[in-house]
Amino acid sequence: MAVTAAEEARDGQRVARGSIPLSLLLTVLPLADFLLIAASGFFFYLTYVGYSQAGIGPYMLTVFALAAITVFIQRSRGTYDTTMFIESFWQAKTILAVTTATFGGFVVIAFALKVTEEFSRVWVFSWYLSSIGLLFWRVGLTRLLTYQLAASGRMGRSIVVIGATDQAHAFLAQLRRMNHPWNVVAGIFDDRISRIGPTFGPYPVLGTTADLMDFARSHRVDEVVICMPWSAERRISEFIEQMRELPVYVRLASDLAGYLSTTPKLTLIGRIPLLDMLNKPIDGWRLIAKLISDKILGILILLVSLPLMALIAIAVKLDSPGPILFRQTRYGFNNRPFELLKFRTMRADRGDEPDVPQATKNDPRVTRVGAFLRRWSLDELPQLFNVLAGDMSLVGPRPHAVAHNESYAPQIHAYFSRHRVKPGLTGWAQVNNLRGETQTVEQMKARIAFDVDYIENWSLMFDMRILIRTVLVVIRGENAY
């Protein structure tokens, strides 16, 4: 339902006058986590060790030190930013990683100093598990509480915008798409108020930039966002100087070009700030981590699969004449061609197929053994050799046949963006019901959207999720023919 200007104005007034600032909650959370972790350590000390005036010193020093270090590292990783309310999986992953690293570091240091005998192992392990559990519980409760308070107007971030411009329109449109209830736009201020009218989209125009000073003193304003072309340097500088009198954050919205990027951020080359428009998706240590995981997991899966692959090879050879392996040129990383390997599942004497038609349900070209292999995705196992050769990854966008690339590329915008990473044996699209035959361009667009989402949000944990979900998809056998 569309939000009227009057409703927006009322929401802005309510947040500005009496609600709890979101920044206050984000400030309190580190203290809450510190107390939870410390209280947990003290509780298990009393439970498993027992109070001793002589022995309590090392335990309490450890309790407060580890609690403080855990919270400090979590804060440096951004777990106390508003992102925490949005990315639950990322939040849980960070908590698990930081807490494990902190407690693991304590064990290593205690071992190096030869003081491990002074601490109860049961105490350390119980405290570690309870700390993770308490932090998970706190995150869930905080997320629930924040959404409820924000939805009822009792908590939020009050935002005003300077400039009724195309930039402001793009900024506000993205803010609405995010749909975070704690972001409340009180209104717009612009010196051209006589030409703009009483509203700018669904938001009220509250006055000129001079009126903003009075508004910010009579209402609670948390953030002022300047939405003006970066070329208007003099006017932007004047606004910033005026805002120095107010206890608010002043942000400069991206120039229009910045909205062309899905992950815009500033990078410094020397002292020159540059706006990133596109990022290399997997680089540096992330690239090394993915490469190592591909090699290690690839070798392990291959060793386990070798006896099964030998049986499959015999079955394919006995079932129908032709080669055991099917080899086909596919496009891989950076659109470079490579030879993909699969167990042959179709008759070898079916003639030329320049258009490479996709397999369909009850396809007469598929052999008896081939149907079984396709049902359980066993025909893909030889691609483990592609992974070890470096042409593919265990997880990534599935490589399409050359003919399919040439067919879909002109019809789908940024189709080849899926080639910014290595193709995968399985992928994010495949575990989201986009496995097998694509009958329409819309289905292929949906597959590409999942591929791009994977590339832009890659992590090792994301890969593990996809691998686990792949097993479940294979068991269900959806779209496998």
| pLDDT of 360 strictly over 80 | no
Q: Which residues pair with 183 in a beta bridge?
A: 157
- Report residue 428 CA to chain centroid gap: 13
> For residue 328, which phi and psi values (nearest 5 degrees)?
-150, 140
Average pLDDT, integer, range 418-442: 88
- The pLDDT confidence band at residue 66, using thresholds 50, 70 and 90, is very high
Strands (E), 288-376: 325-331, 337-343
| pLDDT of 464 strictly over 90 | yes
Of 271-280, 311-320, 402-411, 426-435, the least confident: 271-280
Fold of 5-13+156-276: Rossmann fold (3.40.50)
SS3 for 30?
A: helix
Please name the residue that has the structure tokens 């179709």.
346
Helix 121-151 to helix 88-112 angle (10° resolution) is: 160
Q: pTM for the full model?
A: 0.56
| pLDDT of 4 strictly over 50 | no
**According to the model, what pLDDT value does residue 9 have?**
42
Average pLDDT, integer, range 109-124: 86
| pLDDT of 161 strictly over 80 | yes
Percent of the chain with pLDDT over 70: 84
Nearest alpha carbon to residue 96 among 115, 73, 116: 73
**According to the model, what pLDDT value does residue 361 have?**
66
| pLDDT of 277 strictly over 60 | no
Q: Which residues pair with 59 in a beta bridge?
A: none
| pLDDT of 15 strictly over 60 | no
**Who has greater pLDDT, 124 or 154?**
124
Average pLDDT, integer, range 287-298: 93
Q: Any residues with CB less than 8 A from the CB of 88 and at least 6 apart, and which?
A: 139, 143
| pLDDT of 186 strictly over 50 | yes
**According to the model, what pLDDT value does residue 221 have?**
86
Question: 397 to each of 243, 255, 451, 470, how far by Cα in Å?
Answer: 48, 32, 5, 13
Of 44-53, 130-139, 269-278, 395-404, the least confident: 269-278
| pLDDT of 433 strictly over 70 | yes
Average pLDDT, integer, range 410-420: 86
Nearest alpha carbon to residue 84 among 168, 149, 141, 158: 141
Average pLDDT, integer, range 38-55: 86
Mean pLDDT (the chain, rounded): 83
Q: How far apart are CA 205 and CA 190, in angstroms?
A: 8
Of 16-25, 192-201, 304-313, the least confident: 16-25
| pLDDT of 258 strictly over 70 | no
**Who has greater pLDDT, 106 or 230?**
106
In the chain the first and final C-alpha atoms are separated, in Å, by 43
Q: How far apart are CA 283 and CA 280, in angstroms?
A: 6
User: Where in the chain are all domains bearing CATH 3.40.50.720?
Assistant: 5-13+156-276
Q: Which of 193-202, 242-251, 365-374, 391-400 has the largest mean confidence?
A: 391-400
**Who has greater pLDDT, 442 or 437?**
442
| pLDDT of 124 strictly over 50 | yes
pLDDT one-digit tens code per residue, 324-340? 999 999 999 988 899 99
| pLDDT of 81 strictly over 80 | no
Q: How far apart are CA 299 and CA 20, in angstroms?
A: 54
Average pLDDT, integer, range 177-189: 84
- The pLDDT confidence band at residue 2, using thresholds 50, 70 and 90, is very low
How many CB atoms lie under 10 A from the CB of residue 347?
16
**According to the model, what pLDDT value does residue 275 have?**
61
Q: How far apart are CA 22 and CA 153, in angstroms?
A: 11
Q: How far apart are CA 301 and CA 394, in angstroms?
A: 10
Q: Is residue 20 packed enough to be buried (19+ CB in 10 Å), middle (13-18) or exposed (0-12)?
A: middle
**According to the model, what pLDDT value does residue 416 have?**
86
**According to the model, what pLDDT value does residue 3 have?**
40
| pLDDT of 427 strictly over 70 | yes
Q: How far apart are CA 339 and CA 245, in angstroms?
A: 65
With left for phi above 0 and alpha for psi between -120 and 50, is residue 322 left, alpha or beta? left
| pLDDT of 278 strictly over 70 | no
Percent of the chain with pLDDT over 90: 34
| pLDDT of 18 strictly over 70 | no
Of 115-119, 142-146, 291-295, 411-415, the least confident: 142-146
**Who has greater pLDDT, 367 or 480?**
367
**According to the model, what pLDDT value does residue 343 have?**
96
**Who has greater pLDDT, 63 or 277?**
63
